[in-house]
Amino acid sequence: TQGAAVLAFDMGASSGRALVGRLTEGDTGKSSLEVTEIHRFPNHAIQVGKHLHWDTLRLLHEMKKSIRFAFQKGFEPATFGIDTWGVDFGLLDANGELLGSPYHYRDPQTEGLIEEVSGLIGQRALFEQSGLQFMPFNTLYQLYAMVKAASPKLEVAKTLLLTPDLLAYLLTGVKSCEFTMATTTQLFDPARQAWNTELMERLGIPSHLFLEPVQPGTIVGPLSPEVQEELGVPAIRAVAVGTHDTESAIAAVPAGEEPFAFLVCGTWSLLGTEMDGPLLSPETMELEFSNEGGVGGTYQLLKNIMGLWLLQECKREWDEQGKELGFPELVRLAEQAAPFRSLIHPDDPRFFSPGGMADKIRSFCAETKQPIPQSEGEIVRCILESLALRYRQALEQAEKLTERVYGGLHMVGGGIQNELLCGFTANAIGKPVWAGPVEASAIGNMLMQLVALGECKDLKEARKLVAASFPVDIYEPESDSGWAEAYEKFLGFGRV
């Protein structure tokens, strides 16, 4: 037998995709989730003058196409859910129209603002009131940049919608604010479970822009009559899922009930562990961890690591040079390159902005007096080994903060298609890596729709369903072969 179909939109910083999921019951009576990809499309930053923007209307167009495709393929989903990258937003005017193209979180407008805002508010106070790592892209700094630029958009704006809420609004006409995304802004106070209006007022950020957050699993509303008519489809309803992609991905980690460590591996690498509430200790701030609101009442204690962005940017450059090396080919070249020749610290701030990535990596190696990687294979090897070592550092820090020891690391997301990286990670941490599922965000998104529809009880049941539905690849660590020595060198770069 088959249950209702649900449609998940998962918008990553590098690509968007639409997948349909359906609960099926086999002969044994055991449920599993059957997933079909409907559509996949690239997502890019677009430079306009001094600013970097998202092409939000293009995303809307691709989402509409996906809804049409889903019905054309005969799926008839009852609901849909949207998850996206964190922190970004659109502003609506008094008529409910979108004011301009939303900024991309890598827009340089926030440069230097972490220091400025910390100077005004105090670093410790800011951390205690937000639980977040100080990342230049946090919504707080983006809005403060607009305040400083006397942005007319900010003057006339009536409502702020975070990206997934904005996309849901463009499809339904219903304005909402979902909790997991709200917690990525640095303007939400996890201890009080409320918007930090005092902080907004001190920085000149209009507090009337923010809507009351709702928990994942809340029904937002049906497709607007205009969209129904345009697409020729019925009034399927939007569910506010764990709309932050990281949180949807963590919901789909096939872990049991014991505490576990995860690594969500995509454009960013998010490494951490699930908690019952935020850990707002000074050590958490010093080790640069975040507390992000998760689904089912959880908080995720995690570190934001630069991730496969480093590789994506190199690939983009090589594509522009006409080399057309796909990810599998790049991984193959890295495999052939010599081990531990040069390492970088992935979170060196120079790597955050787009462009010139291979040269930035070379300059880091030159400054730290290491051999300078030249070929594509050497560069990619350097990135992957450095990421694996960074994962070890972050895992050890998570263990220290939580006073727990994790038996291995669950890896999910597009990056686990890179088997070399999964193997390197197991070697670096000296523990097994359990890899899967790849489409964790889309699956976690579906799970919260199934919870909203009453087809799945809670997060615990949802994770059992993932374990029963998707295979996990196990990478056992090999005996040392140079990783311990490389880690000592890596720690010498000196960042937490």
Binding mask 120-139 for ligand LRH (x = CB under 6 A): -----------------x--
Peptide bond preceding 437: is omega within 30 degrees of 0, i.e. cis? yes
Q: Does 166 bind ligand LRH (CB under 6 A)?
A: no
By beta-carbon proximity to ligand ADP, the closer residue of 15 and 215 is: 15
Number of residues that bind ligand LRH (CB under 6 A): 15
By beta-carbon proximity to ligand ADP, the closer residue of 14 and 118 is: 14
- 107 part of the active site: no
Q: Does 85 bind ligand LRH (CB under 6 A)?
A: yes
Whether 299 contacts 291, CB under 8 Å: yes
* Binding region for ligand ADP (CB under 6 A) out of 13-21, 27-35, 118-126, 161-169: 13-21
Q: How far apart are the first and last CA of the chain?
A: 51
Minimum Å gap between C-beta 52 and ligand LRH is 13
By beta-carbon proximity to ligand ADP, the closer residue of 123 and 312 is: 312
Minimum Å gap between C-beta 44 and ligand ADP is 11
Q: Which of 107, 245, 347, 348 is catalytic?
A: 245
Q: Which does 270 bind (CB under 5 to 8 A by kind): ligand LRH, ligand ADP, none?
A: ligand LRH
Binding mask 298-337 for ligand ADP (x = CB under 6 A): ----------x--xx--------------xx--x------
* Residues comprising the chain, all counted: 496
Q: Does 86 bind ligand LRH (CB under 6 A)?
A: yes
Q: Which does 123 bind (CB under 5 to 8 A by kind): ligand ADP, ligand LRH, none?
A: none
Whether 408 contacts 402, CB under 8 Å: no
Q: Does 435 bind ligand ADP (CB under 6 A)?
A: no
The span from the CA of 155 to the CA of 221, in Å, is: 29
Binding mask 14-53 for ligand ADP (x = CB under 6 A): xx--------------------------------------
- 396-415 binders of ligand ADP (CB under 6 A): 413-415
Burial class (CB in 10 A: 0-12, 13-18, 19+), 370: middle
Q: Would the CA dihedral through 488, 489, 490, 493 be positive or negative?
A: positive
* Binding region for ligand LRH (CB under 6 A) out of 29-37, 235-243, 267-275, 484-492: 267-275
Question: Which residues are catalytic, by number?
Answer: 245
Query: Could you list the residues that contact ligand LRH (CB under 6 A)?
Result: 12-13, 85-87, 105, 137, 244-246, 266-268, 270, 304
Query: Could you list the residues that contact ligand ADP (CB under 6 A)?
Result: 12-15, 266-267, 308, 311-312, 327-328, 331, 413-415, 417-418
